[in-house]
Structure formats: C-alpha cells, structure tokens
Amino acid sequence: MKRSLTTLVVFIFVSLALSACVSKSFTVTNVWARPGLSGSNSAIYMTINNPSQADALVEARCDVAATVELHMTTMESGVMKMQAQDSIALPVNGQVKLEPGGLHVMLINLRRDLKAGDQFPVTLRFQHAQEMTLQVQVKEP
C-alpha cells in the first residue's frame, strides 16, 4: 500500500512537471503573409510570446520562396531600408511582434502566387526551444 502511494505521488509529480514544461512553450499568434505574385517578394508576420527562458529565432524555413531571411525594416534619413538579421532575440516573459515596418520573415523570389485566403506552412528554428511548424494565412495588410 505504501509503495503504491509513493508510486502515485511520483506519478503526479512527473505529470505536473511535464505539463508545466508543455505549457511553457512559445505561443505564436496572428501568423500571416502579404499576397504576392510568383517571382516577387512577400513577408511573414507574427506575434511570439515567450513565457520561459530567453531564446532567439535563428531561422525560418518555407518552401514557397527561393530565399527566406529574417529582416528588420529601419528608417535612415527618411529612406526605408531592410537589413538581414542573424537572429531575432526573444526575451524571457516577452512578446516580440513581427509586423509591417519592423521585424519580418522575408520571402524572396516567390515560387508561386500567394493569394488572400491561401495557407502555407513555415518552420521556425530557435536557439534553444524545439522547432515549430505553423500555418501562415495569406491576407491583405
């Protein structure tokens, strides 16, 4: 009896530890991309909430474009510029928004048309967390 009680307590403890682990992964919402024609460019935007340890987005992979890069849009003397980023920092307990005029996943040289209403997958690779595949919704900004 005592042994089974111990087993039960250990089981509950492990379950709680596992569920805490699962609930602490990223939540990524509002994943969308601009429409674009084959051969042109587009961008993916999203909101990343990071409830656990400090991490960084290091790569996005997506087969709708020949080249996929992490970009930051900045204004320099009134001129809009985009700069490739090695990674995008995800501070602990922070929210990072990829949005028009700021950070984005750049889709260069689309392999097919992206029309409003289309969906396609993108895979995000992080420095620490496991990679994650999400559905991107194509819509007008």
Please provide the DSSP assignment of 108-131 as one string: EEESS-B-TT-EEEEEEEESSSPP
Q: Which is nearer to Cu ion, 48 or 106 (CB)?
A: 106
Which residues between 100 and 139 bind Cu ion (CB under 5 A)? 106
- How far out from the chain centre does Cα 87 lie? 12
Q: Which is nearer to Cu ion, 25 or 85 (CB)?
A: 85
**In angstroms, what is the minimal distance from the CB of 124 to Cu ion?**
16
Nearest Cα neighbor of 122 from 33, 23, 18, 16 is: 33
Q: Which of 48, 64, 71, 122 binds Cu ion (CB under 5 A)?
A: 71
Site for Cu ion contains 72 (CB under 5 A): no
